[in-house]
Amino acid sequence: PLYTRLVQREVAEQLASRLVAEAASRAGGAPSRDQLLATLRESIAAMIPVAGGIALEPGRTRRVALVGPPGSGKTTTLAKLAAHFRLRCRRAVALLSLDMHRMATHDQLRRYAEVIGVPFRAAQTVSALKQAMNELTGADLILIDTAGVAPREQGRFARLAALLRAARAEELHLVIPASMTLSAQRQAAAGFAPLGVSRLALTRL
């Protein structure tokens, strides 16, 4: 059954067979289904290279932007990162929204920023973005939220690209749901590559 589940999720048959065999061998004896599943998850996790998180340097502002298709979880991921660095790491964090289409997202992030006690700005033009950046000086980390845009939407995509160039983000994280099919993930990766994506963030794990 685990082999079948992997193949149905577009894992290559040969790889799925090897993963299940390795998991059974590592679990040893006559493992229960839950034990086998846990061992299989560990085997898959060990295969995935992990970048290691956002590195901050003393006295320097790091700008990190999140991009991805609509509904991928960018705003939620940004909120989690903000809470981590502000509340756990005690760093100065600022939130910036470049969402050009959903005012509700601005309101959501603004309320969240108030709750955790960090500044928030929204910008929809390059000039407004430059002003927002000037107002956010002193932050250790500026987290930049963007609109969910499909690369085929050429006008909106070009506008997003212009805003990201003006933001001068050191890291551009592509946010993709783990629940997406492999073909859709590859399409998203290829579509957003021209923006200069440097990291991948998987949501809905």
pLDDT exceeds cutoff 70 at 190: yes
| Of the candidates 129, 113, 121, the residue with the CA atom closest to the CA atom of residue 81 | 113
- Average pLDDT estimate for 156-172: 90
Residue-wise pLDDT for 51-91, tens only, equals 778 999 888 999 999 999 988 999 999 999 999 999 999 99
Whole-angstrom CA distances from 175 to 74, 76, 146, 178, 187 are 6, 11, 11, 9, 13
- Residue 33 CA, chain-centre distance (Å), reads 31
pLDDT digits (tens, 9 = 90+) for 113-149: 999 999 999 988 889 988 998 888 889 999 999 988 8
* DSSP sequence for 143-168: EEE-----TT-HHHHHHHHHHHHHHT
pLDDT at 30 over 80: no
Better-scored residue on pLDDT, 195 or 51: 195
The predicted structure's pLDDT at residue 203: 93
CA 37 to each of CA 7, 43, 68, 169: distance values in angstroms, whole numbers, following the listed order: 15, 10, 30, 39
> For residue 201, what are the β-bridge partners?
175
- Residue by residue, DSSP assigns 1-14 as -HHHHHHHTT--HH
Task: Give the pLDDT band (50/70/90) at residue 177.
Answer: very high
